[in-house]
């Protein structure tokens, strides 16, 4: 069991030593919630909830993420204060009447989220089904990706253009922590509903620009870019940004289409690029400092009409950590 210094223990206990704040911590340990969600669950005013959240944030216990006009809060994953408060929560009685009510109301909030996400998904299901009919099944693509990545655990995974959060769910047994980034708040709502349904709290989704990620450099062991690059004018910049946030020895998996001539995808499905050649993708990866390890084409052999070939690229950051005094230094593998 982790040990904590006296100052940390006092500050954490002061921060959570109030019923509403402890209830907030318990709720935020279950995933992302807005102030509106929390006022509905706790039946307290918005100013009161906001004041408690400010105190918890100042104590280093929660994170705040802005998505347009909405702000989401979540119990922090890392750091001594967060570890201590998670131990406190582990000893809370699930039969406490206040916590029981909170859990029931939280379930209602998540159900409303799921219904809204389902409505959005149903609205666009036709166009997504049309795209899926053009290429090999998603199940076969996912099987190839899982086989390439393997089952060796990674600390941090990043899914760029997370969409419905499918990659976060598919690879949940591989990572300890994962972040999904998407530029669409509607898609993030779908992803959150899917994570809620799975009870997966080790993954979070955030609003962000794939070309200007709101993330620190060298923080991720595995980065996934699944069917995103063909929507971008400058996909090479996305590859470079993915490489920036990768740790030495980290891997990048890109799944997209091989070159094709289905011009109608530009107008009907907003595709800016009609696929990518092996050479173009490998050039971009090498320019970003990555070594290409594997490339697999997955043609749609059963198609009787024009179809798409899905390609999977796997690259690695060739740097490795080298012991060097009190600082981290890197060396290029040979």
Whole-number Å distance between alpha carbons of 117 and 198: 15
**Structural tokens at position 203:** 């993954």
| Percentage of the chain lying above the pLDDT 70 cut | 90
Residue-level pLDDT at 20: 92
Instruction: State the angle between helix axes of 19-28 and 80-90 in degrees (0 to 180), rounded to the nearest 10.
Output: 100
- Quick one: which H or E segment has residue 247? strand 246-257
Residue-level pLDDT at 83: 84
- Quick one: which H or E segment has residue 66? strand 62-67
pTM: predicted TM-score of the whole model, two decimal places: 0.78
Summarised one tens digit per residue, pLDDT across range 49-90 is 999 999 999 888 998 988 767 788 989 887 888 888 888 888
Summarised one tens digit per residue, pLDDT across range 280-331 is 999 999 999 999 999 999 998 765 577 899 999 999 999 875 444 443 444 4
Band of residue 119 on the pLDDT scale cut at 50, 70, 90 = confident
Summarised one tens digit per residue, pLDDT across range 90-103 is 888 878 888 889 99
| Percentage of the chain lying above the pLDDT 90 cut | 52
Residue-level pLDDT at 329: 44
Residue with tokens 């349904």: 197
Q: How many residues does the chain have?
A: 334
Residue-level pLDDT at 21: 93
- Quick one: which H or E segment has residue 182? strand 175-182
The mean of the pLDDT values for the chain is 87
Residue-level pLDDT at 125: 57
What is the DSSP pairing of strand 175-182 with strand 154-160?
Answer: parallel
Summarised one tens digit per residue, pLDDT across range 132-186 is 778 888 999 999 999 999 989 999 999 999 999 999 999 999 999 999 999 888 8
- Secondary structure class of 323 (helix, strand, coil): coil
Whole-number Å distance between alpha carbons of 26 and 32: 12
């Amino acid at each position: 069991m982790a040990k904590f210094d006296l100052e940390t223990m006092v500050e954490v206990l002061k921060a959570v030593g109030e019923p509403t704040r402890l209830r907030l911590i318990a709720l935020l340990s279950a995933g992302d919630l807005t102030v509106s969600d929390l006022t509905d669950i706790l039946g307290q005013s918005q100013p009161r909830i906001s004041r408690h959240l400010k105190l918890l944030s100042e104590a280093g216990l929660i994170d705040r993420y802005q998505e347009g006009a909405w702000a989401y809060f979540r119990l922090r994953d890392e750091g001594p204060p967060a570890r201590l408060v998670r131990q406190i929560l582990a000893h809370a009685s699930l039969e406490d009447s206040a916590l029981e009510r909170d859990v029931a109301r939280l379930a209602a909030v998540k159900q409303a989220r799921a219904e809204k996400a389902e409505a959005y998904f149903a609205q666009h299901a036709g166009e997504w089904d049309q795209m899926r009919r053009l290429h090999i099944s998603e199940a076969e693509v996912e099987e190839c990706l899982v086989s390439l990545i393997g089952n060796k655990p990674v600390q941090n995974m990043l899914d760029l253009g997370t969409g419905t959060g499918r990659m976060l769910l598919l690879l949940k047994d591989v990572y300890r922590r994962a972040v999904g980034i998407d530029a669409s708040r509607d898609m993030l709502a779908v992803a959150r509903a899917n994570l809620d349904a799975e009870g997966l709290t080790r993954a979070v989704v955030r609003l962000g620009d794939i070309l200007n990620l709101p993330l620190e450099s060298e923080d991720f062991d595995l980065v996934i870019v699944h069917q995103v690059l063909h929507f971008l004018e400058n996909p090479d910049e996305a590859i470079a940004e993915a490489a920036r946030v990768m740790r030495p020895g980290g891997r990048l998996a890109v799944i997209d289409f091989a070159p094709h001539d289905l011009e109608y995808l530009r107008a009907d499905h907003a595709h800016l690029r009609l696929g990518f050649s092996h050479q173009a993708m490998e050039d971009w990866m090498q320019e970003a400092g990555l070594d290409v390890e594997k490339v697999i084409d997955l043609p749609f052999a059963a198609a009787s009409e024009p179809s798409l070939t899905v390609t999977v690229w796997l690259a690695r950051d060739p740097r490795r950590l080298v012991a060097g005094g009190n600082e981290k230094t890197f060396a290029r593998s040979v």
